[in-house]
Amino acid sequence: MQRIDGWEEWGVTFVRRFCGDATPSSRYTLQFAAGAARLPIPAGVAALALAALVLLTGCVTPVSPAPRVSPVGLTPGQVLREERNLRVFDAAWDTVNRRYYDPQLRGVDWRAAAVTYGPRAAAAGDDAALYKEINAMLKLLADGHTGALMPSEARNYRAQQVVVTGFRFLRIDGRWVVEEVMPGGAAGAAGVQPGWIVLSRNGQLLGDPLDLPSMHGGEAVRWEFLDKDGRKVALTLRACPVSTAREEARTLAGGVVYLRFDEFDWAAMRWLRRQLKEHRTAPAVVIDLRHNPGGTVFALDFVVGEFFDSKFPYGAWTGRSGRRRDLKPVMFGSAHFHGRVAVLVDHLSASAAEIFAATMQEKRRGAVIGHKTAGYVLSARLHSLPGGGMLECSEGDLRTAQGRRLEGGGVTPDVEPPVVTLEDLRAGRDPDLDAALRILRQP
């Protein structure tokens, strides 16, 4: 469905298509506000066409259910698709409107956003197109914690997996380079190695920034690389689910223990606790939070508690109402690890990973090493959307114990090593980890 110039005219057309003739004598009375939709949508509106009208055009006073009229030129399936799209769009818009931590929505005209993106969402032919429009609207908030996942992505999120061909990219000297090969993916099985230069995907050169579409299991993708010897390698890799719940433990020279986990959740917290108790007498640990996007505050409370002997406020969040809640470590069952600590971070370390790093910094409990973090530090909740999708909505503003607001600013490391080079990747060198070990071995 294409939007007709002028939101009011589009709204009247919408009602005529779905509810019959939109005139004062019809079963619905239209009340238009000059140039803007009147929102929010009243609760309990059962007729979807009525809900869509309120969202996209203005306030509607129902008298009784109106008969449906099949729109000219649209099949019943297309009508149902539009209704479903609007139900999902409405739920996402309304949740943000009611629950977002900032009542002013960071200065975004949320009503105007509905008018702009609602018709586009209604016209979407599939979930990918629908969620593209919803996320385009949510992007206006410039908030990395507020976004929507379509049903297939939501299922993968709950299963802690992502459908990929199995490697991560890094931009080095204007080229995309394989930074890491993910365990369990097709790339590893095909012999792709860190340091290979990525030339193309399905015959298309990769742009900057990188914008790759979501994939489905079994989808074939043709990649072209240059290997370490400069030879061109063409591989067709099939996307498959790869776990995002990666955990890695190893003992380095001098008895230093390296611990990596890629998400703050219950399983990772328990794994970390076991590792710290097992290596209670180790002189030091490296906590690698690079690529870690964060997770739950509940898990963060426990993780912070592993490195201290008593409770203290390590931060606070403030909700939409202005109510403040202190964040404190949970000491129950803590490993009470007393050795030295280094925390590795990068531009993909976000949310709980950033708060943990900032806490270790402010309490002088450990050195933070690496590169500035993402600056995505708000308290968000997950909400189910009709049809199986998921909305993440920021509902609290977080600050550290010293009052630092990390949202938009991130954590600046204590030590910032030189950025990794192509030669480092090919030789298996890790400048961040090397810097951490030098610091931990100092007297």
Token code pair at residue 329 = 């470590």
- Calpha distance 86→71 (Å, rounded): 16
pLDDT tens across 220-264, in order? 999 999 999 999 999 999 999 998 889 999 999 999 999 999 999
Residue 144 has pLDDT above 90, yes or no: no
Examine the pLDDT at 439 and tell me if it is beyond 80. yes
Collapsing DSSP to helix, strand or coil, 137 comes out as: helix
CATH superfamily of 161-243: PDZ domain (2.30.42.10)
Residues 395/101, Cβ–Cβ less than 8 Å: yes
Residues pairing with 286 in the sheet:
258, 342
Question: What is the reported pLDDT for 68?
Answer: 34
Q: How far apart are CA 339 and CA 367, in angstroms?
A: 12
Task: Answer with the residue of higher pLDDT: 137 or 33.
Answer: 137
* CB 148 within 8 Å of CB 200: no
Rounded mean pLDDT, 361-370 = 97
The radius of gyration of the chain's CA atoms, rounded to the nearest angstrom, is 26
Q: In the structure, what pLDDT confidence band is assigned to residue 78 with cuts at 50, 70 and 90? A: low
pLDDT (tens digit per residue) in 163-207: 999 999 899 999 999 999 999 999 999 999 999 999 999 999 988
How do residues 416-429 score in pLDDT, each as one tens digit? 999 999 999 999 99
Of the candidate CATH numbers 3.40.430.10, 3.30.420.40, 3.90.226.10, 2.60.40.10, the domain formed by 247-440 belongs to: 3.90.226.10
The per-residue pLDDT for 75 is 61
- Cα separation, 13 vs 16, whole angstroms: 5
Q: Work out the average pLDDT over 363-375.
A: 97
Amino acid 400: pLDDT: 96
Q: Is the peptide bond before 313 cis (omega within 30 degrees of 0)?
A: no
pLDDT digits (tens, 9 = 90+) for 43-53: 332 333 323 32
pLDDT band at 139 (very low <50, low <70, confident <90, very high): very high
Instruction: Give burial (CB, 10 Å; 0-12/13-18/19+) of 6.
Output: exposed
Q: What is the predicted pLDDT for the residue at 61?
A: 30
At 127 the pLDDT is 94
| pLDDT tens digits for range 44-77 | 323 333 233 223 333 333 333 323 333 445 566 6
Task: Name the residue with tokens 């080079």.
Answer: 421
| Token pair 């000219």: residue | 72
Predicted confidence at residue 74, as pLDDT, reads 54
- What mean pLDDT, rounded, does the chain reach? 83
What's the average model confidence in pLDDT over 82-103?
95
Tokens of 198: 């990525």
Domain borders along the chain are 7-142, 161-243, 247-440
